[in-house]
Amino acid sequence: MLRQISRPAIGLLCCALCTGVATAQATDPAPILPVLEKLKSVTTHPGADEIYDLVRKRLPRISLGTVYRNLEILSKLGEIQKLETGGSQKRFDGNPKHHYHIRCLGCTRIDDLMTDKPVNIEKAAARLTDYKIVGHRLEVLGICPDCKDKGFLQ
């Protein structure tokens, strides 16, 4: 019996195979689109375990390892962002466009931090150092409204 696999899932898988991000033996194309859809449907920047819980409602036999593998593939393809914040598990963002994040020191919640005017940190860093600049990560730290109301760090 053949499984029905959507064109977008096949397209993502083909990109992954052509770029060497995934191998044919290790990649099942069926879960890649549900993983992407669930991540894009939330703004909470969930970890792989939270995405796993969401995707299991649609694909009950999916494994946590499959979710991790598909998140890594989607991240390497530039379809999502992998957030590796200080001292916590990897989190994921369904918005692949470059933007900043703010992380709560109390509960580790992560929110998007949209700025009116993007600062070109890479150009500034290139002027100040002999390094070849290849990118940057900026993590803004703070206390979210919920933690502030609970008196965290007052």
**DSSP label at 3?**
P
Residue 1 has what pLDDT?
33
What is the CA 26 to chain-centroid distance, rounded?
Answer: 21
Tens digits of per-residue pLDDT, 121-135? Answer: 889 899 999 999 998
100 three-class SS: strand
Separation CA 145–CA 129 (nearest Å) = 38
6: left (phi > 0), else alpha (psi -120 to 50), else beta? Answer: beta
The values of phi and psi at residue 92, to 5°, are -130, 150
Neighbouring C-beta atoms of residue 141, cutoff 10 Å: 10
Q: Is 28 exposed, middle or buried (0-12, 13-18, 19+ CB in 10 A)?
A: middle
Separation CA 38–CA 31 (nearest Å) = 11
- What is the model's pTM? 0.75
- Comparing 12-21, 48-57, 70-79, 101-110, the range with the smallest average pLDDT is 12-21
Residue 46 has what pLDDT?
95
Tens digits of per-residue pLDDT, 41-86? Answer: 999 999 999 999 999 999 999 999 999 999 999 998 889 999 987 6
**Type of residue numbered 12:** L
Residue 22 has what pLDDT?
56
Q: CATH second-level architecture of 98-149?
A: 2-Layer Sandwich (3.30)
Domain ranges of the chain: 7-83, 98-149
Unique residue bearing structure tokens 């949209």: 114
Q: CATH second-level architecture of 7-83?
A: Orthogonal Bundle (1.10)
